Chain A
Amino acid sequence: MYSNVNGNAEESLVVITVIGADRPGIVAGITQVLARHNVNIVDIAQTVVRGIFSMIMIVDLSTGNIDLPRLREELISKSRELGVEVSVNHIAVFRAMQRV
């Protein structure tokens, strides 16, 4: 598996998670950043449990005009405006840890 972890179809996939107190505009704020850079959302799941907002997105950077570190920077600065926690990780981390 490790031999082809780079250069496979998942190389450009990134996992974004957002957690924080629920309020209007969180999804809009985060997706605005993605849209601005033409980054495609592949999968999205969102829940609100007892007022805590949680969103997980898998996005594809191959259509976009931004790399992962810069996307992280922009999303973190947006998350400060929104008052939420955001984390941005390459999908290989999840593939390594959650698949045999």
Chain B
Amino acid sequence: MPRIFAPEEIREVIEMLLFQDLDIRSVTLGISIQECISRCVSEIIECVESKVSSYAQKLVRASNKVMNKYGVKIVTKRIALTPFSLVLEPLATQSLDKAFEAGLEIAKSVDRAAHNNNVDYVGGYAAFVHKGSTPGDRVIIDSIPQALAETQTVAGMVNLASTYTGINVDAVNKVAEKVLELAQKTPKGIGCTRFTAMANAPEDNPFIPGAYHGLGEPDAVINVAVSGPGVIETVIKRLGERTDMRTLHDYVKRAAFKITRLGELIGREVAREIGVEFGIVDLSLAPSPKIGDSVARILEAMGLEIAGAPGSIAALYMLVDAVKKGGAMATSSIGGLSGAFIPVSEDWGMTQAAMRGAITIDRLEAMMAVCNTGVDMVAIPGDTPPEIIAAMMLDVMAVAIALDKALGVRIIPVPGAKPGDVIDFGGLLGTTVVIPVPKYNVKQFVARGGLIPPSIRRLDKG
């Protein structure tokens, strides 16, 4: 009987799983809670909590079963909900104060349901205001600091810009203030790790805090996020330093194919176990604070002394392009953010590079042109003025709409912290250094408010 697999093929997979930190970063169950929209707070809470609880149990049971069967680790289990702004809309139209209190109550009840069922995060405390806002949206934005400070698992997102509509500068200004407020309300500003300001937020993003259940989605759906920077780093190191760029790209592509296929297998199996549709695999290589699980180290394995050095944009471009091409061959269910992540505190190598001054806000802004991160998990001084934060957000939003891609800003203005201070957020959030922020006066610019019109790309869309 011919061999089903050559021993080398088996050995390669086992090495990836055991020694190169290949795992499933997250299985995210998107659930619609549109049926919970009501004018009655207790009805909303009962509806949302019971739906989240029952699906959470199924998600955790199915994930554990699949993990046991295949011998593949699923690091986090998450739930993404319909944007809460929609659920609060009828209440907000009647009374903003009542809706504010209801938002907090719902967030807390969802938090309880997640805790009780061992779900790691729940996304969806979200609003879409890229052109304007409704009462429900305003309630979400206003209540984000308190809702996130009073919960442990709830994640928030506000979509501030889109290629179709441009950038809502008024909303950016408002959200910048809320980020500072959230930082003040939580130790080390850690609440800000669960909030992102986004442009072109995808409806099927499995990553927290950007995850929400989009309006185009079915009632319930499983989306998967893979990890695997260690696999790519090992592949590049094994090729040696004399391998040319095209060959390097080819090998990264092959490795990305394998990583993506694992994501698809696990995602489909969890979906089948729960009895819901399988949605997408997000091709992004999610790093973690472990040394062997870092996207920065991939750039360094390619031959750069440190991530952020000249050449980093080219190296990151090559990585993202190869991951997309390998991933596209591996699955026809692509979605989410699908690129590469360089969240500073969550990536061991990025933090080391930030400590040495090679990674700065400027370098991150340059790198986001070729990946899908934006400015992510960046600790900044707590006394950064709101207009500077707003201006940083505007920069990221502008790149997102100019290049027609999804980008986000997840910054943590750590109260009392100065540039160079080392901050430990714990667990997967990592340890990082506070990065200096330019303090030029930008007040007059951001205070103009209004909308920045969409780019000419809008016209390509008809």
Binding site for B on A (CB under 8 A): 2, 5-6, 10, 13, 15, 17, 42-43, 45, 47, 54, 56, 58, 68-69, 72, 85, 87-94, 96-98, 100
Cβ < 8 Å to A, chain B residues 1-39: 1, 3-5, 7, 9-14, 17-18
Residues of B within 8 A of A (CB): 1, 3-5, 7, 9-14, 17-18, 68-72, 258, 261-262, 264-265, 268, 272, 329
Cross-chain contact of A97 among B3, B18, B71, B262 (Cβ < 8 A): B262
**B17-A2 in contact (CB<8A):** no
Instruction: Report if A56-B70 is in contact (Cβ < 8 Å); known contacts: A2-B268, A5-B265.
Output: no
A100: which B residues are within 8 A, CB to CB? Answer: 329
B259 closest partner in A (C-beta): A97
Contact of A94 among B1, B9, B268, B272 (CB under 8 A): B9
Residue from the list B11, B262, B329 in contact with A96, Cβ < 8 A? B262
Of the listed residues A2, A72, A96, the one surrounded by the most CB atoms of chain B closer than 10 A to its CB is A96
Verify A93–B13 contact, CB threshold 8 A: yes
Q: Which residues of B contact A42 (CB under 8 A)?
A: 1, 4
Known pairs A87-B18, A98-B258; A56 contacts B69 (CB<8 A): no
- How far apart are the CA atoms of A13 and B237 in the complex, in Å? 33
Cβ contacts under 8 Å, A96 to chain B = 261-262, 264-265
A54-B69 Cα distance, complex, nearest whole Å: 23
Most chain B CB atoms below 10 A, which of A17, A42, A88, A93: A93
List residues of chain B with CB within 8 A of the CB of A13.
4
Q: B residues within 8 A CB of A2?
A: 264-265, 268
Residues of the B chain whose Cβ atoms lie less than 8 Å from the Cβ of A69: 68-69
Q: Which residues of A contact B261 (CB under 8 A)?
A: 96-97
Chain B neighbourhood of A10, CB < 8 A: 4
For the complex formed, measure the closest distance between the CB of B158 and the CB atoms of chain A, giving whole angstroms: 36
- The answer on a CB contact under 8 Å between B71 and A89 is yes
Q: Is the CB of A15 within 8 A of B265?
A: no
Which residue of B1, B10, B68, B70 contacts A17 across the interface (Cβ within 8 Å)? B10
Known: A42-B4, A43-B4, A93-B72. 8 other contacts (CB 8 A): A5-B265, A17-B11, A43-B3, A68-B69, A85-B18, A89-B14, A97-B258, A100-B329
- CB-based contact B14/A87 at 8 Å: yes
- Cβ–Cβ contact B4 & A91, under 8 A: yes
